[in-house]
Amino acid sequence: MCGIIGYIGKRQAKDILIGGLRRLEYRGYDSAGLAVLNQAGLSVQKSQGKLGKLVNQLQSDQCIGNVGIGHTRWATHGIPSKTNAHPHYDSKEDIAVVHNGIIENFRHIKTSLEAAGRRFTSDTDSEVLPHLIGSFYKGDLLQAVKGALRQVEGNYAIAVISTHEPTRMVAARKGSPLVIGLGENEHLVASDVTAMLEHTNQVVYIEDDEIVDINMEDVRISTLAGEAIQRNAATVMWDISQVQKEGYPHFMIKEIMEQPSSLRQTISERIQSGRVVFPELEPLRECLGNPDEFNQIVFLGCGTAYHAGFVGKYMIEKFARIPATVDMSSEFRYSSPVLTPRTLVVAISQSGETTDTLAAVRYAKEHGAAAIAISNVVGSSITREVDVTINMYAGPEIAVAASKTYTSQLAVLSLFALYVANLRQPLDADSTETLLKDILQLPSHVEKVLTQASSIEHIAKRYSTFNHFLYLGRHINYPSALEGALKLKEISYIHAEGYPAGEMKHGAIALIDDDMPVVCIVSESEVHEKMLSNIQEVHARKGRIIAIATKGDLEIEALFQDTIYLPQIHEFASPILIAVAFQLFAYYVAAHRGLDVDQPRNLAKSVTVE
């Protein structure tokens, strides 16, 4: 969590830092701050709350200079407040630091620095960094940062500036993302590339235990141990329009509406002449195809990504007939999972930075498993942990709530299941062909769901005052119910629970009354009849039903008024259409409640703490 940015060049740093922080705000928005170097020393401005508050309070003569750093915070140590906001600086106010991560041994360091006379002003772990760097400073900022980092345990991406060396910036990373943007006589440092897209598409990804010495002309990377690193710049394919709202009131609705094109990007290159192709899986192809090699697949992820993995489990078992399980990354390594060299872990992470997922993958690898990542951010941390990465190419997602990246994860997983299935056994031609056809048509099917936005909005408006919702689904759409409920919870702050419909009569049915809207997934499927019976059980107890059904389902039409209709589609592709309908529903409920859809309270998009 937290976003950091730094600029060194000839332009006013303030404007560039604020523009970058605006893009990074999805990483946390408890407070924001800037520190800029000028002849008077260090000009620091901070504010509790969102970046907008800082921008409003900044006077035109503050933070003037060509070298500066900025931060947007998701609080871990210390409440959200102005004092706990970054940048932090040392007692003499000559070294300033922005930090993303956690310094685990900060108490120990703080005690010894305080004993040496250093005065702390915040409750954060991060504040030890400027003091520690200050204590190592002997005329060379790079050496001082190196000395300090050798003392700290934990995770960090940092950017450091000092009044002693006003044309220099030092940055370093361990466990938190850091990227350098290369410009003409100017350089940027940031937590991710979206913060620098306006200025450059030439970037260098920094790896763990590396430190970067930056001035206007030059960027030098080395390891903490002192070994120089030569790394070529990568070209970022995203463009600036993808990180702007382009007339939409929120990023979330823009990203929901982008799904026909994001899905096209995810799918198009991967189906050729009626076959699924995954060139990136070539190194694992033999093991994937051989039942004597991989005999177990474990899907891992957090939140929405976990729900994608849950759908993946159904798909791989159905088509490839490989035993599969799904685990929340945060639980995985504490549950003594049985892993062998014949286990394949498939880790799903939009950002590729979720700490729990990174740790789960590391654990699996240490215990002999092979690992694949499905990620949306090229060069993200997870790509360095796994054997193979599948990029989903959904384009940048700014809203904290995942929408287009979830549907792209599902599309990748359905293709992955078919790919592995084909390597293992000739599949029932009919079902593969229909599924492949439907996957290819997903963009146009999704367009049809999107054309119902205003009727979904109408339903959402009527239900936006309820405080509890139940989402029911079965089989492959049980995870869809979980995801629908999560989406509503995170952006509308309404309590919602996803539940397997067949389990309801074992307890949850006691909750049903006319204050409890029940969203029922009753689209065409193997369990359609069973789902209908479960709906009747809710109906009989005066539950208010919102149904998700397949167009032309006359039984549902006759029974329920509040129905969202999906185009006819293969059952195993239906979670994608259902997800889109649920995203629209949650979006409109939250928007009608007047909530901050893109930046819901307490959340951050990349959860880089355990």
Place of tokens 């146009």: 444
Output DSSP code: residue 155: E
Q: Which stretch binds ligand AGP (CB under 6 A): 76-84, 93-101, 349-357, 387-395?
A: 349-357
Q: Kindly determine how many residues on this chain lie close enough to bind ligand AGP according to the rule CB under 6 A.
A: 15
Nearest-angstrom CA–CA distance, 595 and 488: 12
Selected from 85, 157, 203, 305, the binder of ligand AGP by CB under 6 A is: 305
Q: Which stretch binds ligand AGP (CB under 6 A): 121-129, 269-277, 347-355, 536-544?
A: 347-355
Selected from 45, 66, 155, 606, the binder of ligand AGP by CB under 6 A is: 606
- The minimum distance between CB 354 and ligand AGP, in angstroms, equals 3
Nearest-angstrom CA–CA distance, 481 and 562: 17
- Which is the catalytic residue, given 2, 63, 302, 520? 2
The CB density around residue 325, as the number of other CB atoms within 10 Å, is: 17
Catalytic site includes residue 2: yes
Strands 370-375 and 210-214: unpaired
Instruction: Give the C-alpha distances (Å, rounded to integers) separating 366 from 288, 339, 345, 385.
Output: 20, 10, 12, 11
396 binds ligand AGP (CB under 6 A): no
Instruction: Give the C-alpha distances (Å, rounded to integers) separating 415 from 25, 266, 333, 395.
Output: 33, 10, 28, 19
Q: Which stretch binds ligand AGP (CB under 6 A): 110-118, 137-145, 290-298, 351-359?
A: 351-359
350 binds ligand AGP (CB under 6 A): yes
- The minimum distance between CB 483 and ligand AGP, in angstroms, equals 8
**Nearer CB in complex with ligand AGP: 572/582:** 582
Q: Which two tokens stand for residue 229?
A: 């690193």
Residue 18 DSSP SS3: helix
170 binds ligand AGP (CB under 6 A): no
Interface positions, 482-521, toward ligand AGP (CB under 6 A):
490
Selected from 152, 195, 413, 607, the binder of ligand AGP by CB under 6 A is: 607
Q: Which two tokens stand for residue 350?
A: 């939009």
N- to C-terminal Cα distance for the chain? 10
608 binds ligand AGP (CB under 6 A): no
**Which one, of 311, 304, 312, lies nearest residue 344 by Cα?**
312
**Nearer CB in complex with ligand AGP: 276/607:** 607
Nearest-angstrom CA–CA distance, 145 and 267: 45
By the 8 A CB rule, do 423 and 289 touch? yes
By the 8 A CB rule, do 172 and 157 touch? yes
Q: What angle do CA 556, 558, 559 make, to 5 degrees?
A: 65
Residue 541 DSSP SS3: coil
Q: Which stretch binds ligand AGP (CB under 6 A): 52-60, 300-308, 423-431, 442-450?
A: 300-308
Nearest-angstrom CA–CA distance, 575 and 478: 9
Nearest-angstrom CA–CA distance, 605 and 2: 10
Nearest-angstrom CA–CA distance, 69 and 321: 52
Catalytic site includes residue 461: no
31 binds ligand AGP (CB under 6 A): no
**Nearer CB in complex with ligand AGP: 302/609:** 302
Instruction: Give the C-alpha distances (Å, rounded to integers) separating 163 from 38, 134, 180, 523.
Output: 8, 12, 22, 64
**Nearer CB in complex with ligand AGP: 130/303:** 303
Give burial (CB, 10 Å; 0-12/13-18/19+) of 397. buried
Instruction: Give the C-alpha distances (Å, rounded to integers) separating 478 from 133, 507, 574.
Output: 52, 17, 12
**Nearer CB in complex with ligand AGP: 31/357:** 357
- The minimum distance between CB 22 and ligand AGP, in angstroms, equals 19
Q: Which two tokens stand for residue 96?
A: 């300033």
**Nearer CB in complex with ligand AGP: 204/402:** 402
Selected from 85, 398, 400, 584, the binder of ligand AGP by CB under 6 A is: 400
- The minimum distance between CB 380 and ligand AGP, in angstroms, equals 9
Residue 318 DSSP SS3: helix
| Chain centroid to CA 97 | 25
Interface positions, 98-157, toward ligand AGP (CB under 6 A):
none
Output DSSP code: residue 319: I
349 binds ligand AGP (CB under 6 A): yes
Selected from 63, 85, 256, 302, the binder of ligand AGP by CB under 6 A is: 302
357 binds ligand AGP (CB under 6 A): yes
Q: Which stretch binds ligand AGP (CB under 6 A): 233-241, 345-353, 359-367, 582-590?
A: 345-353
Selected from 81, 304, 391, 480, the binder of ligand AGP by CB under 6 A is: 304
Residues 6+ apart with CB under 8 A from 279: none
- The minimum distance between CB 159 and ligand AGP, in angstroms, equals 23
Q: What angle do CA 362, 363, 364 make, to 5 degrees?
A: 90
> Of all residues in this chain, which one has the CB nearest to ligand AGP in the complex?
303
Selected from 81, 84, 126, 351, the binder of ligand AGP by CB under 6 A is: 351
**Nearer CB in complex with ligand AGP: 74/156:** 74
Q: Which two tokens stand for residue 71?
A: 């931060």
Selected from 130, 134, 181, 303, the binder of ligand AGP by CB under 6 A is: 303
Instruction: Give the C-alpha distances (Å, rounded to integers) separating 68 from 86, 135, 150, 203, 297.
Output: 12, 22, 24, 19, 47
381 binds ligand AGP (CB under 6 A): no
- Which is the catalytic residue, given 14, 404, 487, 605? 605
162 binds ligand AGP (CB under 6 A): no
**Which one, of 217, 92, 106, 204, lies nearest residue 155 by Cα?**
106
**Nearer CB in complex with ligand AGP: 66/351:** 351
**Nearer CB in complex with ligand AGP: 162/330:** 330
401 binds ligand AGP (CB under 6 A): yes
**Nearer CB in complex with ligand AGP: 369/400:** 400
Map residues 434-473 to x or -, x wherever contact with ligand AGP holds by CB under 6 A: ----------------------------------------
**Nearer CB in complex with ligand AGP: 265/304:** 304
**Nearer CB in complex with ligand AGP: 278/582:** 582
Selected from 354, 432, 480, 583, the binder of ligand AGP by CB under 6 A is: 354
Residues 6+ apart with CB under 8 A from 210: 172, 173, 221, 222, 223, 224, 229
* Residues known to be catalytic: 2, 605
Q: Can you give the binding site for ligand AGP, defined by CB under 6 A?
A: 302-305, 349-351, 354, 357, 400-402, 490, 606-607
